[in-house]
Amino acid sequence: MTLSVLIVCLGNICRSPMGEAVLKHEAEKRGIIIKVDSAGTGAYHLGNDPDERTVKTCKEHDVPINHSARQVQQSDFKDFQYILAADESNLRNLEAIRPRSATAQLRLWGSYLDNKPIPDPYYGGITGFQRCFEQCTNLSNAFLDEVVGK
């Protein structure tokens, strides 16, 4: 079965679309076939492109990014093997809507490395997005090391 991962944050315009793009990129570098998508627990930005600072940061690192914001839905809990939350608040919101029939493993993305959340960069400057990119890269590699192997 193809490895499938859903990255989740609040708005699905800053952290999780970046996480989606970076995880895809890191997996491809390893020759791993993977399905990655992202979603938000909130519905503030449905259909929007990723934040321009997320796009700029990905472009600076030659990581392709292409996503339309969407909200997490019940079917995601069986359509993905892993659902990875950017922070504890996202994780709690996901636990609250997880259906009984869920088969996905629901975890804080940081649990694969250092248990740290990805801070929300939305209200800050570009530096927060650059830090977010670095964190997404480290978390992608920690996740792939554990789930696929080094």
Active site residues: 9, 15, 120
The residue from 6, 7, 11, 140 that contacts ligand 4NP (CB under 6 A) is 11
d(CA 136, CA 30): 16
Residue that the structure tokens 């800053």 belong to: 14
Q: Is 93 in the site for ligand 4NP (CB under 6 A)?
A: no
Alpha carbon distances (Å) from 105 to 31, 49, 77, 97: 23, 27, 8, 14
**Given the rule CB under 6 A, which of 9-17, 73-81, 96-104, 136-144 is the region that contacts ligand 4NP?**
9-17
**Given the rule CB under 6 A, which of 6-14, 24-32, 72-80, 91-99 is the region that contacts ligand 4NP?**
6-14
d(CA 13, CA 46): 9
Binding site for ligand 4NP (CB under 6 A): 9-15, 44, 120, 122
